[in-house]
Amino acid sequence: MGYPLDLLGNVTEMKRTVLCFVIAALPAATAASAVQTWYVNLSFEEALKKAEVEKKLVAVDFYADWCAPCKIMDATTLQDPKVVEWFRTHTIGLKVDAERDVALAARYGVDSFPTFVFLKPDGTEFDRLLGYLTPEQILPEFAGIQEGKDAVARAKDALQKGDPTDPVLRAKLASAYATKGKYEQAAAEYLWCLDEGFRKHPELGDLRGYVLTELMILSQRYPKVIGELAARRSALRKKLFEGEADEDDVFNFAAFNEVSGEPQATVNVYDELRVNGKIPARIKQALVRAVLVQLLQARRYSNIAADMDVMAAVDAEFAAAKQAPPGDEQVQLMLISVISSYYQILVALNRSDDADSVAKRLIKFADRPETYHLLAWNGYLTGKPVQANLDQARKADELTDKKNIGVIDTLARILHAMGKKDEAVAVAERGLKNAADFREQMFMQQCLFDIRR
């Protein structure tokens, strides 16, 4: 799949506030008895003593009141009967607010949430699990813990049983090393993913950003990483200008710049290579894909079309999506985002037949509010939306019962851009009236201000 864009909202002049189409409500327990409690109401020292008597581990769930993944996990994973049963059978469970018991959190080096730390009865750490985990993800980890295997041993087992070139498995091993304080080994695994893993598995290339982000975090404890990344970025830039780079090099170079907060650096290289003409067609197309977000923001549509076969790119995205399981929500949302961006290019260049063809194809693939909305919004971003974009915005408004603030905003702006100011104001006022909270009110007030001036 292509580069990711925001899937659930829209951004005025590319910097607007994100508004979600759907916020999944977590099921609330109807009675206190419905909540399954896996932890005990004991002090830390009491829990250690109880674990010693019962020959168990102490499982400490470090959380923070503001941590959304913690709350989601509490309401889902930690209510799963198998998860609860395992905790009760094999551990003495504790929940610790890390911002209240600062000393205990510091003792075990907890600096992100949720973090589950598994301790021996003497208080020494056996293992830890980081971040939000589903029941399907956490239960295999429990099985390994029960066998006496820590995160590194479990990750090595998975690598041995699976594909040793799989960057997902290697990144998991890197994460396990990091949790154990083995930062050099962690860095080596992450860097291998960048140097070799994504070249062997290009279909997993979207994980480059994740791996680089983990390396940047790791650099706080292992500063040598900074030098490693800088050397690689410099070498990739040199390869690009010497004509020795391949597509994988392009995407690695762009990822380095993105995570370093310098996405414009990739655009600069693209422009320099275009000027001197020393750029093979395949590398030029890879560079366009790598900087597509920036080129779209700058409305450099003619450059994109000159260096990329847009319709061929659309075909490639649909072909990739067909490889995913039918009905895969993430794949659908990603495809909607990417294809609607290509649609923006076609609308901007007045390639109406191609634009209509792409829109119909996307709607056939995913007939849902997000599809109509993002098609409409990308038409608006061109600065000259067409009737089809207005029709798409009206359709999205109907499908969301005329209550979605993001859709209402898009509809009002398209109406205004097409010279229908009175109707645009009426739509925006309707949105302001239906705003559910202060944030939505401010959002619609900004919309009204923009279309009235």
Q: How far apart are CA 341 and CA 396, in angstroms?
A: 17
The angle at the Cα of 150, spanning 144 to 211, to the nearest 5 degrees, equals: 105
Catalytic site includes residue 20: no
Residue 135 CB contacts under 8 Å (≥ 6 apart), including other chains: 76, 77, 80, 82, 83
Burial of residue 231 (CB within 10 Å: 0-12, 13-18, 19+) is exposed
Tokens of 90: 């094999």
Distance of CA 424 to the CA centre of its chain: 33
Alpha-carbon distance values, 218 to 75, 173, 184, 221 (Å):
30, 14, 9, 6
The CA distances from residue 212 to 217, 229, 338, in Å, are 9, 9, 22
Tell me the three state secondary structure of residue 63: strand
* Secondary structure (3-state) at 181: coil
Decide: 61 and 74 in contact? Cβ < 8 Å: no
Q: Which residue has the tokens 């198998």?
A: 82
**Phi, psi for 420 (deg, rounded to 5):** -100, 65
Place of tokens 């100011």: 421
Separation between Cα atoms, residue 376 and residue 438, nearest integer Å: 26
Cα torsion angle, 232, 234, 239, 245, sign: positive
Q: Measure the CA–CA gap between 18 and 318, rounded to whole angstroms.
A: 26
Query: Is residue 67 annotated as a catalytic residue, yes or no?
Result: yes
- Give the closest residue to 62 by CA, choosing from 35, 101, 36: 101
Q: How many Cβ atoms sit within 10 Å of the Cβ of residue 137?
A: 12
Kindly list the catalytic residues: 67, 70
